[in-house]
Structure 1
């Protein structure tokens, strides 16, 4: 059939040009990874064909499903080609996958770039350089592909020098699959050396389950249409292909036979991450439910970890046949950063995402995977605390989602949590709940905590004053997710978690009976002041009462024991959600000079202004925002002016 030529020149999306520039500039020192990336893409293409062929074996086009990857060189032309007979690409798919980066989080990825080459190279590795790594060593790249199931007349030819545009042309291609040809730069001709290529493949791609082949007489390149179509030549008519890699699924090998380097390279192939994993666990389960798992904890958080539109999960295989990527039912959502493979002997080959939701075998695998990862993290925390500190810095906020999602493992998750507390002077999250319990005062039966919108706001909150006075440690929480955490994790090892900003102050046996009696007596003696303040503040507060929490500050705001915390209300408001209207209690320190001065004020208008200033200060002290900042400034200015004489000097009392 004659192909009607359809050639056009298109511009790369702006973000692709940025990636190309950053890849070439930042990853040049490790340029041989381009071959790993291209072979990895070819392997993915083969797995996709295998999966789609489960429901349509005609996609194999009569070749029996013998999938492979081939690497060839043409020294005279200065080209290196990576070919596969996988699923292939249609014209539209090439535009979508190479001409642009189809990700809703791409903008956020670029916002994270710092301009620091070392830091950016790590981020680019997390982003996944893939095909674009070709331009580290090539000044021009050609792709010839045809998608399985389409006619030969639907082949597509793509070419670009990576400088802003590419050409796209419809061509005739008999065989399905893809050829990626790199026109190597003059100073990169080392990659035409077959021995050099074999060593790279052995180093980076030995674990690929698909055979990676090169010509046995590798100094000769393929010739004619037969080679372009990816067909074996008869052995008596020319060179033969031989497998360069081991070509067996790494996860199916005995752990004792897999080296640390092989695990690391498999992780990089699996995740397209530039950095090695922080830790991993490899298991074979036998019995009524037989499966193999190989799970990795990354060393760096992926740039799209918090992207709600991004799918997360691990690869699912059934008897070494790839079934689906990002199988999110194999781990809970709070472990979405984990990369890996599950290969089941028992699931049906036609299993779908819908079936996974209601499959008891999947539930069993999910529970076991969760326990293995938590066990791995517990071992890391115990045996390698410095490495666990790195993990917590990257993934701590995600782990804090766990107690709300995974009730069965709530206690284990509690042991993995790290916090800042008033025990140390620094703000690093290094303290554990177990350490807190060990340091509890005699008679203390609660774990006290405070939530705020910043570490400084938590550490300097007026609510902590009585706790500092009595030497009682308080956990300082300032991540947004902390509100979610404490609303679902009410106790740990029998110790109730108690907010210091809610309800009546409850110090249990730590409370001083004499101080309690003094506070009760003060409420009677200063009843007139408390009533005047309640009248002045009106609906802003539920009540006004003497405080047993305050030592140095004049006032603070407290919500009911079962009310939403003021910080959570601010968090909800910040993300555009409605929070219930609730009136706090204003607690005043009757020993503070400002409160004593307020009590002597006879002018009701001036008293009301001073009372409102006290209320607004209490809001600001806990990180709140004022409803009417201008009115607060006006009252404060009036108060300041009242302290000055006509010459501008401060009038001392």
Structure 2
């Protein structure tokens, strides 16, 4: 005959806390199953720890496992483990008192004995009470692993009280939780629903989880295994399981760290493009586990955004959680994990650069995301070494050059790494600012993405070399280098009178353009073009200025300096016209055309109608003169 039932009342503050837990904290009701399975795993871990230490336990030959059975018609779900079980006192302490950790005393005793505490971090109490989100009534039947312990039962509806009873007869070691589901929660007694939840949250629990005599968690927690025992095929298979990507990853990092935070991690660099991250900027992060139990998918705090192309998981022993396990209690530990993983990934990428073909594959697939790392000041030097750009020395737009390679090829006495921005290689090569670099045989990096300008601005330097936009280069420094075109034919120099007239023409052009330009001056950088626009000294590059204006939706052309190539045939012709008639309309039209052509090259010409009309007029005049000459 069973002993008399003992009815106990929850304290007022516990009633209030229970109400909060069951109605407010958990945003996803299915989490109750994760919590109960996790507690069952804790109990099995503790039992294994005791038996490993030589302690006698009841039912010593019983398999260590978790069994789940469901009666969909009755709306009853049963979760049973063969773990440590509980005595009457432990039942009151662990289940009858919210927010009390039954593992705390257990660990103190184990620590006093000098035995290892690995994997023995149990959390009873709070997680268990999430069951009342879905349950009308819960019945616990438990028997402690202590030999000769009596089985106990605990029953509650999660309201104001619970009852406890010592049971007669024998019972298997461990704990069985019988959940009588609320009407609206009976879906949790359906095997398909249960299996889906277990796959999402408890797939890597270290003990078999049996659902209707079928093991659900068949995928091993590969990250927990020693690295030397794992083959590449196993990593590839796990990656496919984790991501559903059938293409093997480009790189795999298996990380195991004991300090300052104990955690293990598997991080994969996919071989597939990561452009989808821009379609959904929040779709990145590593899965966070605590002792094989999933806490959050794609936890963004574990990896910086610029490494968001990585996929994988982190499993830690040290991370404390709040009541619901859904919100992290101390971000400091997560920051330490993030710092470690970031260093490891950057180191792996640095190693990957030794294989140019495979690194080119990485860069092609992930550079758009990786470039966001320009704001990571702490890892700036490592980030800089991993950057790649197309270069004037490359044969085509697919060529990739590192800053280190550029530095190795620099001319003796060169003090800066030069770059130019544009939408494509063909567009960049036509940029008039590059003409002096081509003439002097100086390499220039080609930047095709807006973010590249921000990268150069954020870095500022690479080792001892300044990063300088081609249009902002010190012309005096460039002229120190000899020309590489030995067949270059220089035009006849202007005589003293024409030189003074040219200065006067520059002033006249400044009057024609007015406030649209800051100044008009002779160009030292142009060799094949007649004119260009350059940013005033000390200002940001024209492309950077353009990007900044795009952010605020301002399309107003910036006020810049117009430079004229004194030796260009068109300029010499304008000089002849200016000498004859400083107010000639053809001169004014040509100046306007040169200015708007420069605007067009820089992407600032908003309305081309006036320009097209002017071109037609100039072509009409020029063709008339040409026809007269040919006729003659």
**TM-score, normalised by the number of residues in structure 2:** 0.64
**Aligned with 1:329: secondary structure?**
helix
For the pair 1:607 / 2:587, whether they are aligned, the reply is: yes
Deviations 1:95-121 (A, max 9, x none): xxxxxxxxxxxxxxxxxxxxxxxxxxx
| Residue in structure 2 matched with residue 394 of structure 1 by the alignment | 365
Deviations 1:421-464 (A, max 9, x none): 11122111411111111110111010000011222211221111
Deviations 1:27-59 (A, max 9, x none): xxxxxxxxxxxxxxxxxxxxx8785568x8699
Matching of residues 241-252 of structure 1 within 5 Å: 241=213, 243=215, 248-252=220-224
| Residue in structure 2 matched with residue 642 of structure 1 by the alignment | 621
5+ residue gaps, structure 1, are 1-47, 71-83, 87-146, 153-170, 182-205, 215-229, 233-240
**Aligned with 2:362: secondary structure?**
helix
For the pair 1:176 / 2:188, whether they are aligned, the reply is: yes
Cα–Cα, structure 1 residues 303 and 479, in superposed 2: closer, same or farther, change >3 Å? closer
Q: 2 CA distance for matches of 1:398 and 1:288?
A: 29
For the pair 1:527 / 2:503, whether they are aligned, the reply is: yes
Larger Rg belongs to: 2
Measure how far apart 1:506 and its partner are: 5.0
Correspondent of 1:627 among 606, 619, 622: 606
**Aligned with 1:292: secondary structure?**
strand
| Residue in structure 2 matched with residue 465 of structure 1 by the alignment | 435
Cα–Cα, structure 1 residues 283 and 309, in superposed 2: closer, same or farther, change >3 Å? closer
Measure how far apart 1:557 and its partner are: 1.0
Q: 2 CA distance for matches of 1:260 and 1:59?
A: 30
For the pair 1:329 / 2:301, whether they are aligned, the reply is: yes
Q: 2 CA distance for matches of 1:598 and 1:357?
A: 74
Matching of residues 417-456 of structure 1 within 5 Å: 417-456=387-426
| Residue in structure 1 matched with residue 568 of structure 2 by the alignment | 592
Deviations 1:461-488 (A, max 9, x none): 1111111111000001011211221121
5+ residue gaps, structure 2, are 1-27, 45-64, 70-76, 80-130, 137-182, 194-201, 484-489
Cα–Cα, structure 1 residues 489 and 506, in superposed 2: closer, same or farther, change >3 Å? farther
Q: 2 CA distance for matches of 1:85 and 1:53?
A: 11
Measure how far apart 1:552 and its partner are: 0.6
Greater CA deviation, 468-477 or 597-606?
597-606
Give the aligned CA root-mean-square deviation in angstroms: 4.2
Measure how far apart 1:353 and its partner are: 10
Q: Is the 8 A contact 1:329 1:356 kept in 2?
A: no
Cα–Cα, structure 1 residues 246 and 567, in superposed 2: closer, same or farther, change >3 Å? same
Q: Is the 8 A contact 1:416 1:432 kept in 2?
A: yes
Q: Is the 8 A contact 1:545 1:588 kept in 2?
A: yes
Q: 2 CA distance for matches of 1:207 and 1:580?
A: 58
Q: 1 CA distance for matches of 2:631 and 2:279?
A: 58
Q: 1 CA distance for matches of 2:305 and 2:428?
A: 28
Correspondent of 1:477 among 447, 450, 454: 447
Deviations 1:556-594 (A, max 9, x none): 110134323332344345555347863111111110011
Cα–Cα, structure 1 residues 430 and 636, in superposed 2: closer, same or farther, change >3 Å? same
Matching of residues 526-565 of structure 1 within 5 Å: 526-565=502-541
Q: 1 CA distance for matches of 2:260 and 2:442?
A: 52
Measure how far apart 1:647 and its partner are: 10
Cα–Cα, structure 1 residues 435 and 550, in superposed 2: closer, same or farther, change >3 Å? same
Cα–Cα, structure 1 residues 629 and 458, in superposed 2: closer, same or farther, change >3 Å? same
Matching of residues 369-388 of structure 1 within 5 Å: 369-382=341-354, 384-388=355-359
Q: 2 CA distance for matches of 1:546 and 1:605?
A: 22
Correspondent of 1:340 among 300, 308, 312: 312
Cα–Cα, structure 1 residues 642 and 322, in superposed 2: closer, same or farther, change >3 Å? same
Q: Is the 8 A contact 1:282 1:294 kept in 2?
A: yes
For the pair 1:413 / 2:383, whether they are aligned, the reply is: yes
Q: 2 CA distance for matches of 1:652 and 1:547?
A: 37
Q: 2 CA distance for matches of 1:353 and 1:394?
A: 35
Cα–Cα, structure 1 residues 246 and 253, in superposed 2: closer, same or farther, change >3 Å? farther
Matching of residues 66-465 of structure 1 within 5 Å: 149-150=133-134, 174=186, 176=188, 179-180=191-192, 208-209=204-205, 232=212, 241=213, 243=215, 248-350=220-322, 359-382=331-354, 384-403=355-374, 405-465=375-435
